Structure 1
Amino acid sequence: MLLRRAVPSRRVVALTSGWVKGAHQWLAGGSEPHPEKATSHIPVSSQHTRPQALNSITPIKDSEHFMVSAFIDHRLDGVIRVISIISRNHLQPLYCVYCSTEQVCKTVYTDVQIHSDHFSFPYGASDVICKGKHMQDATHVLITTDKIDSANLKMEYLPIKNKVVQETFKFNFTVCISNLFGDYNNVLQFAQSMEMYKLLGVQHVVIYKTSCGPDLEKLLKHYETEGMLEIVPWPIDQFLNPSSGWNIKIHKGDIHYYGQLVTLNECIYRHMYQSKYVLLNDIDEIIMPYKHASLPSLMEDLQSAQPNIGVFLIENHIFPKTQFEESGKFKRAEWNNIPGVNIMEHIYREPDRKNIYNPTKMIVNPRKVQQTSVHSSLKNTGGSFLVPFNVCRIVHVRVPLQGHLTKEQLFVDKRVWDFEQELIQNVDQTLKRSGLL
């Protein structure tokens, strides 16, 4: 558990601009510094070297808060948006120092926007918004509690990303896997999901990793070497006591589900100009088109029918891992010693529950999303569209939600089998190359 200082709750100060040199006098009640006299030449470059493995979480000095990453938001007149983790019970004025390649730094007040979904945990996913002049020239940014003084600037800065708007993208589809933690070692289902996504048209998968089991570690290294997988170190447990669930009454802790909401938002901004679409779902969930052969053809039809929509909601459907298909044709001896679930053995789908809404995951145009939660977007332009169940749904092989149902009360859903030949061959090759088979 993080040791907390007793910081009185204070209203976040409205955003106002200032300049580094002389700003301490102004903020203390003096006159506003003159812009031309308030430029501070600070050797910024020497202060920006940071270990790559720790780049994902940076404590904000003299506060309970953390910076994660920084982006220019061109949709909001080029402000700097810093994805952050904010202690909701210890609000205080925060300042933004942004620096250019000419080693000129300026400071502004910030607008702290704590996301509305925090599931009552003390820490919440947040955006710290910095508005000021010439932000398009900035290369690095720092969030601080100080009434800025050049002597206090020897702290860790974040590089500013998304500086240039792109209209062509490196990837068509990127899957964002929000969190990997504990000793999770479900190797077989992970490999099957990754290979299925390749067949469906995904080029890129991102995982925010705190920890995992030893066998899965080998598989991750294979996919990372292959180039499909990007692993973002996520050492949240070094800074906070993360919850392993969403219900604070059951799963105690400082922040919801290892900071899942923070990583989902970070992933959207990270791929704002890298990927045409971003899929927000868990590793044991496959967003599966049922009327199209692939995700590109699915999205081409959906987007042409709903040209302004930026968030496509996909219903989640449970395939209980306790119910096995009876022929046993996919119970392969080659996979006997591979830890994890074999999704090809689980073709029985739970029916909808009466008066209970199926949770959704999303395919989003990241350029139309400002804030997201797990099952829906919090702020977007263009609105959301619930994709019909028979067009696309999530194949989610996991423990049952309706464990009392018999096999006869479940629906047979063999969609995964449509890919069986290529899927089995590709999974075998991957397990061999990973040294697991």
Structure 2
Amino acid sequence: MDHNKWKRSLGICIIILYMVVVLMWACRNWHPDYTSMPLFNKQKISEALHSITPIKDSHHFMVSAFIDHRLDGTIRVISIIDRHNLQPLYCVYCTFEHDCKTAETDVRIHSDHFGFPFHVSDVICKGKHLQNATRVLISTKTSLDNENHQYLPIQNRVVSETFMFNFTVCISNLFGDYNNVLQYAQTIEMYKLLGVQRVVIYNTSCGPDLENLLKHYEREGIVEIVPWPIDKFLNPSPGWNFKEHKGDIHYYGQLTTLNECIYRHMYQSKYVLLNDIDEIIVPYKYANLPSLMKNLQAEHPNVGVFLIENHIFPKTQFEVSGRFKRPEWRNISGINIMEHIYREPDRKNVFNPTKMIVNPRMVEQTSVHSSLKNFGETYHVPFDVCRIVHVRVPLQGHLTKEQLAVDKKVWDFEQELVPNVDKALEGSGLLRPYS
């Protein structure tokens, strides 16, 4: 073979080898496109883009889906079910290989519906090889037509023993154009100082200033905003008492969001705090949440639900010196929690509601003030160890200032809290010059 022919042959071999390498790389990195591949009955998969997805031909809704490794790897679909219009429901679940199957379900309506017709429920899929599924939908039929169907991506497919966050706060719904900016900023900055890395907020609606603040915190990475357009699907109640407040679902779906948040962060966060935004779970015996939980968990290793007492700080009673009546915050809407240091006393014959710090991997169902189903024990944390600072309208409005207890715990954080709140308000474009 002459020299030129040898060079041509070598060049062709190099080109062929290059094409083989490129082809192998492409195959290795290729993932199936679920929006264009046919199913066993030729419908297409499209992932649900909203946090609330109607179940076709029913009054019910899907919210999110998870593998529950504690229950033999079954699929749990957190849903909103019309209790008065129950019907057979089926799971259609699909794998990476595009193999789709239909399974029967077990619908578990949570017990604390407070009389409302729609309530959070677990739709449990009963089938084989569920742990290999990647998408699921709830259907009223055993087979699907050729139309597009919105599937939920299945989360928590892999168990993790290391967590992105140590502490996540799950805040139930924002609604009614709520615009309590200053208290929101102070609460989030307090939680950051206490050791929280993530605050999850389910947002139906809020005021324009609060929206700017939340966008600032979202950019910063501390806040995760979950759109919650419950009012586009149901007539949500603004309260918890069906006879008094009416509506389709309790408190804008508060119980749905709390349960959803636990599962959403089951393998992302070591602990989850379940409370409202005007409530701050504050350690009193320890400097912060990490030291609190390190000691509580060591003393109570089998506990997965820690109940924290709620204590009211009336927003109608102001600290007399005006020390924190700062002119910088004069134009900021909302409550200044640092001005309210007077705490209502306990009433022996009245139930003192609690909120919770939970190990999410030990909770199956939760209500607002306690867990409904959990895999471990429950512990009521003593008042002197940790309590909730809850600045709101008084429950014992007849009491004078002298009859209230002085509780300045929030002032312990003054040195860092005040400038951090200012910085957040500046970053949101809300801190205006004062004269």
Determine the structure 1 residue equivalent to 2:6: none
Q: Check the 8 A contact 1:96/1:144 in 2, yes or no.
A: yes
1:119 aligns with 2:119: no
Normalising by structure 2, we get a TM-score of: 0.89
1:99 counterpart letter in structure 2: C
Matched, 1:83 2:78: yes
Letter matched to residue 359 of structure 2: N
**Offset from partner CA, 1:152-178 (integer Å, 9 cap, x none):** 563110000000000000000000001
Corresponding residue for residue 412 of structure 2:
418
Name the structure 2 match of 1:41: 40
**What SS does the corresponding residue of 2:290 show, helix, strand or coil?**
helix
Matched residue, 1:147: 142
8 Å Cα contact 1:43-1:103 kept in structure 2: no
Aligned residues: 394
State the shift of 1:298 in Å.
Answer: 0.2
Check conservation: 1:319, 1:350, Cα contact below 8 A: yes
Match of 1:402 in 2: 396
| Contact 1:42–1:103 (Cα < 8 Å) also in 2 | no
Residue 318 in structure 1 maps to residue 309 in structure 2: no
Matched, 1:376 2:370: yes
* Per-residue deviation, 1:147: 2.6
d(CA) in 2 for partners of 1:304, 1:43 = 55
Structure 1 residue corresponding to 2:243, chosen from 243, 249, 252? 249
Q: Distance in 2 between matches of 1:428 and 1:85?
A: 40
- 1:134 CA displacement: 1.1
Pairs within 5 Å for 1:152-171: 154-171=148-165
Residue matched to 2:8: none
Match of 1:68 in 2: 63
CA distance in 1: counterparts of 2:266 and 2:367, whole angstroms: 17
Q: Which moved more, 1:129-138 or 1:113-122?
A: 129-138
Deviation at 1:47, TM superposition (A): 2.1
d(CA) in 2 for partners of 1:199, 1:43: 54
Partner secondary structure for residue 242 of structure 2? coil
SS of structure 2 residue aligned to 1:157? strand
Aligned residues of 1:42 and 1:105 also touching (Cα < 8 A): no
Aligned residue in 2 for 1:202? 196
Tell me the distance in 2 between the aligned counterparts of 1:205 and 1:42. 42
Question: Does structure 1 residue 291 correspond to structure 2 residue 289?
Answer: no
Give the corresponding residue for 1:360. 354
Find the residue that maps to 2:244 and give its secondary structure.
coil
Identity of aligned residues (%): 77
- Read off the aligned partner of 1:196 and give its amino acid letter: M
Q: CA contact under 8 A between 1:312 and 1:384: conserved in structure 2?
A: yes
Secondary structure class of the residue paired with 1:188: helix
**Separation (CA, whole Å) in 1 of partners of 2:246 and 2:416:** 43
For 1:78 and 1:154, the matched residues in 2 are separated by 27
Counterparts of 2:146 and 2:370 in 1: how far apart (Å)? 40
Q: Secondary structure at the match of 2:281?
A: strand
Aligned residue in 1 for 2:254: 260
* Residue in 2 that maps onto 1:7: none
The Cα offsets for residues 229-281 of structure 1, whole Å up to 9 and x where unpaired, read as 00000000000000000011111100000000000000000000000000000
User: For 1:45-72, what per-residue CA distance to the aligned partner results, in whole angstroms no more than 9, with x for missing partners?
Assistant: x522443xxx200000000100000000
Report the counterpart of residue 10 of structure 1 in structure 2.
none
Which position in structure 2 is the counterpart of 1:18?
none
Q: Which residue of 2 aligns with 1:58?
A: 53
Over the residues paired in the alignment, what is the CA RMSD in angstroms? 1.2
The structure-2 alpha-carbon separation of the partners of 1:124 and 1:229, relative to structure 1 and needing over 3 Å to count, comes to same
SS of 1:352's equivalent? coil
Q: Runs of 5+ in structure 2 lacking a partner?
A: 1-38
**Counterpart contact for 2:48–2:152, Cα < 8 Å:** no
Which residue in the other structure is 2:34 paired with? Answer: none
Deviation at 1:43, TM superposition (A): 6.2
Instruction: Tell me if the contact between 1:187 and 1:215 (Cα under 8 Å) persists in the aligned partners.
Output: yes
- TM-score scaled by length of structure 1: 0.89
Structure 2 counterpart of 1:63, one-letter code: S
Q: Which residue of 1 aligns with 2:229?
A: 235
Q: CA deviation at 1:121?
A: 0.3
Partners in 2 of 1:436 and 1:234 — Cα distance?
25
8 Å contact kept, 1:42–1:104 = no
Cα shift at 1:354: 2.6
Q: Is the 8 A contact 1:314 1:360 kept in 2?
A: yes
Cα distance in 2 for residues equivalent to 1:320 and 1:42: 61
2:114 counterpart letter in structure 1? F
If you compute each CA radius of gyration, which structure gives the higher value, 1 or 2? 2
Q: Secondary structure at the match of 2:65?
A: strand
Distance 1:422 1:396 in 2: 21
Aligned-pair distance for 1:383? 1.7
Determine if contact 2:179/2:210 at 8 Å carries over to the other structure: yes
Q: Say which SS state the counterpart of residue 245 (structure 2) adopts.
A: coil
Does structure 2 retain, via aligned residues, the 8 Å contact 1:72–1:136?
A: yes
Q: Partner residue of 1:219? A: 213
Q: How many angstroms apart in 2 are the aligned matches of 1:152 and 1:61?
A: 14
Counterparts of 1:274 and 1:153 in 2: how far apart (Å)? 35
